[in-house]
């Protein structure tokens, strides 16, 4: 048995358009959109009944990271906590290497998004920060210090 590569990370959202816009504003590109996953095959795949979803697959220019943003129309997605914290159980964040972290942070702030903490210098090797997007999605940005 061999795993060849990670294909994508799926993120369940209620506001698909807001999540898509967030990532497009950060420079991601749309690979494809599907407006009607439904039927017995998907019910059996995900272990739910009467599934109807929409999905947008996005990628970084040049490849390297694919994300699938998924909205469940039925059954509706559940969220037991208002906004996950950095230490919440489950996938905590998705990390990306970036250039010009300060410009990215200013851009996300101008769009109404927020930093989770502050930009930090890690041992003069990286500038790091966590940003929170729609639906509580946390991205970890890392800029190599040259």
Which tokens belong to 5? 């590569």
Least confident of 91-95, 106-110, 141-145: 91-95
Which pTM does this prediction carry?
A: 0.84
Which band of pLDDT confidence, cut at 50, 70 and 90, is reported for residue 86? Answer: low
Measured in whole angstroms, how far is the alpha carbon of residue 61 from the centre of its chain? 15
Instruction: Please state, as a whole number, how many other Cβ atoms lie within 10 Å of the Cβ of residue 66.
Output: 16
Which pLDDT tens digit goes with each residue over 19-71? 999 999 999 999 999 888 888 988 888 888 999 999 999 999 888 889 999 99
- pLDDT band at residue 89, thresholds of 50, 70 and 90? low
* Average confidence score pLDDT of the chain: 87
95, β-bridge pairs: 140
In the chain the domains, ranked by start, together with CATH numbers, are: 9-74 (3.10.180.10), 94-144 (3.10.180.10)
Torsion sign over Cα 99, 103, 105, 108: negative
Tokens of 46: 């995900």
The pLDDT assigned to 87 comes to 65
Identify whether the C-beta of residue 68 lies closer than 8 Å to the C-beta of residue 6.
Answer: no
**Residue 45 CB contacts under 8 Å (≥ 6 apart), including other chains:** none
pLDDT for the residue numbered 99: 92
Given a cut of 70, whether residue 85 has pLDDT beyond it is no
- The answer, yes or no, to whether residue 6 has pLDDT greater than 90, is no
């Amino acid at each position: 048995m061999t795993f060849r590569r990670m294909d994508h990370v799926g993120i369940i959202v209620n506001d698909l358009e807001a999540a898509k816009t967030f990532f497009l504003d950060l420079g991601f590109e749309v690979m494809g959109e599907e407006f009607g996953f439904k039927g017995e095959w998907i019910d059996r795949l995900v272990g739910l009944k009467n599934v109807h979803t929409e999905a947008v697959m996005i990628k970084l220019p040049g490849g390297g990271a694919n994300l699938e943003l998924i909205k469940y129309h039925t059954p509706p997605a559940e969220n037991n906590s208002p906004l996950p914290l950095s230490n919440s159980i489950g996938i905590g964040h998705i990390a990306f290497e970036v250039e010009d972290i300060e410009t990215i942070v200013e851009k996300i702030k101008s769009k109404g998004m927020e930093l989770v903490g502050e930009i930090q210098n890690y041992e003069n090797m990286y500038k790091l920060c966590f940003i929170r997007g729609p639906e509580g999605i946390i991205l970890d940005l890392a800029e190599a210090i040259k």
